[in-house]
Structure 1
Amino acid sequence: MTSIWRRQSGWATPTLFILPAIILFGVVIVLSSLQSLWISLHDWDGMGAMTWVGLDNYRELFGDPQFFVSLKNNLIWLIIFMAAPPAGLGIALLVNQQIAGMRILKSLFFVPLVLASVAVGVVFTWVYTPGFGLLALIFSAFGATAPALLSDEHFVTFAVVFAALWPQIAFCMVLYLAGLNSLSSDLIGAGRVDGAKGWNMLRHVVLPQLTQVTFIAIAITAIGALRSFDMVSVMTQGGPFGSSSVLAYQMYEQSIFSYRFGYGAAIATVLLAIMAVFIAWYLSRIIRAEARS
């Protein structure tokens, strides 16, 4: 038995280590997604019997103006959130310098990451408060009146996104700090011998070694933007008049408050499909780029 195990250990040992993760992923992600797809084909209040309606939930969804408002807001989240990886890289390059007091600065930039999203949402709600918030104090210093951002349907989504961007930048900073600490000193030294410094060093020596970190940062940032929920729930509850709602919050609202779990599952399925298309497109670009290099 021992000899058989030794002969098969080349594939058996890694399989045993990977198997629990595969089972967990299959149950939590794949099975849940299939169940959500099945529920989306029914009319269900979450408690009684499910009634088969086929694609009716999807027909109603694509005829619902609120769906397109939520989809547009998700795209705004995605576009603005793409500023997090380069901003995180810039801060990481700054705090990675061997300068006195830089550890304190690094800790200050790290603070948003350890705060709960609910806490960040509450803090920024105070910041945006027109009467006494930080934004009101800044405007009053110049003799102006601060706008009520969370009550303005044209600016509310941007206000919420910029609040959520603060901890996301901190997350990307931590990723890039880990990447910078694992750079090859031989390549850095070779670059210096060749006269590379400043931008040339960053572009031709440092960034190529951070490709995997950049991939993780962009992928997680994009997924975070598409599944955004908690900040919207804390700061606006989708208001005013649904103008700041996103797909995840609309799904929650339809399922929990309107008892339309089939319709909410249809929204969840569409959101999953959008994520899958984006990730597949991004992976294909990464694979083609690595193949060319």
Structure 2
Amino acid sequence: MADTMMPNSDGAPGWIRRNRQALAPFLFLLPGVLFFLFYVIFPILQSFNLSFYRWDGLGEPVYIGAENYIELLDDRAFEVSIWNNLKWLLMYLLAIPAGLAIALFLNQNVVGIRLYKSLFFFPFVISQVVVGLVFSWFYDPTFGLLNQILGFFGLGTLNVLGDPNLVTYGIILAGLWPQTAYCMILYLTGLNAVDPEQVEAARLDGAKGFKMLWYVIIPQLRPATFIAFVVTIIGALRSFDLISIMTNGGPFGSSRVLSFYMFEKALSEYGFRMGYGAAIAVVLFLIMLLFIAYFLWSMYEEEKGGR
């Protein structure tokens, strides 16, 4: 026992020396785990706690229990934000099949394929602020390209960002542009890992076209599809920057989503309702957690069934 805890000639205790190889992975993981706990887990717990208080960010927080959550039930702006987030979720998922289709095209050996890849990759590398500005100019009712095209065909003028019934869809289309490029990159990476022997065996069995895609290619792209779903859902739920740049929540609050409404309540309105903003953040977090947990469980069940 004394020999176990006695330092070696190099200064390390005997137990550490004998278990050095087993301890090495934990030592490498320790900095990342500490950063994750400090910058992710702790703020989440702090937001949960803050949602039960009334606080303006300066004075002493006042405990009010579940009053912030009760107020959310009668908040019309919160209801509009929920419905807009649902629209974002449903329409944003179009980026996944669109990204797959583009990736399948770019995976072919055609003339000028490097130029095509650069053009489709371009939206992913530019800032969301730039995307918002470009589409704001595109939708502009006076000089925007959209209305010039509509005018050329004699269809009149369309004020997309000024119409409460169209504004959310217009912003979502702007967001789909870079999101589709991201899904395309994921699928291009996944296509490089597709087993050519399985493809050749399926081709010998007479599979081609849609059958080849559905039964041979897509099953091997499940990891890429899972990541695409998770990232797309998170992107849809935290859609803040495009709304801030293109409409600032307008017109009349019709383009708000939960992340933007949280910002308005916590940091933009007079009085700085930090507790109410934290309650909105908690609802958003729980919705996001629900979707991610569902996909993780589905992937686990598929892997368990394949064993």
2:241 matched residue in structure 1: 230
Q: By how many angstroms is 1:9 displaced?
A: 5.1
Q: How does 1:239-258 map to 2 (within 5 A)?
A: 239-258=250-269
Whether 1:284 aligns to 2:267 is no
1:49 matched residue in structure 2: 60
Q: Deviations over 1:127-179 (max 9, x none)?
A: 10111111111101111213101111111100101110100000000111111
Select between 15-24 and 235-244 the one with higher mean Cα deviation: 15-24
What letter corresponds to residue 189 of structure 1 in structure 2? E
Whether 1:75 aligns to 2:86 is yes
2:141 matched residue in structure 1: 130
Q: By how many angstroms is 1:112 displaced?
A: 0.5
* Higher Rg: 2
Q: By how many angstroms is 1:8 displaced?
A: 3.2
Q: Deviations over 1:51-75 (max 9, x none)?
A: 1111111111121011010000000
**In the aligned structure 1, how far is the partner of 2:22 from the partner of 2:232?**
34
Q: How does 1:1-293 map to 2 (within 5 A)?
A: 4=15, 8=19, 11-258=22-269, 259-293=272-306
**Runs of 4+ in structure 1 displaced over 6 angstroms?**
none
Q: By how many angstroms is 1:5 displaced?
A: 5.2
Q: By how many angstroms is 1:206 displaced?
A: 1.2
Q: Deviations over 1:173-224 (max 9, x none)?
A: 0111111112222222222232322222211221111101100000010011
**In the aligned structure 1, how far is the partner of 2:18 from the partner of 2:186?**
39
**In the aligned structure 2, how far is the partner of 1:6 from the partner of 1:211?**
42
Q: By how many angstroms is 1:7 displaced?
A: 5.1
Select between 101-110 and 253-262 the one with higher mean Cα deviation: 253-262
Q: By how many angstroms is 1:125 displaced?
A: 0.4
What letter corresponds to residue 109 of structure 2 in structure 1? Q
Which structure carries more relative contact order (alpha carbon 8 Å, separation 6+)?
A: 1
Where does the alignment leave 5 or more consecutive residues of structure 2 unmatched? Answer: 1-7
Identity %: 47
What letter corresponds to residue 146 of structure 1 in structure 2? T
What letter corresponds to residue 114 of structure 1 in structure 2? V
**In the aligned structure 1, how far is the partner of 2:122 from the partner of 2:142?**
27
**In the aligned structure 1, how far is the partner of 2:214 from the partner of 2:149?**
38
What letter corresponds to residue 84 of structure 1 in structure 2? A
**In the aligned structure 2, how far is the partner of 1:202 from the partner of 1:257?**
49
Q: By how many angstroms is 1:6 displaced?
A: 6.9
**In the aligned structure 2, how far is the partner of 1:6 from the partner of 1:191?**
53
**In the aligned structure 1, how far is the partner of 2:90 from the partner of 2:57?**
35
TM-score by length of 1: 0.95
Where does the alignment leave 5 or more consecutive residues of structure 1 unmatched? Answer: none
Secondary structure at 2:141 match in 1: coil
Name the CA shift for 1:10/1:214 in 2 (closer, same or farther; >3 Å).
Answer: farther
Name the CA shift for 1:275/1:6 in 2 (closer, same or farther; >3 Å).
Answer: same
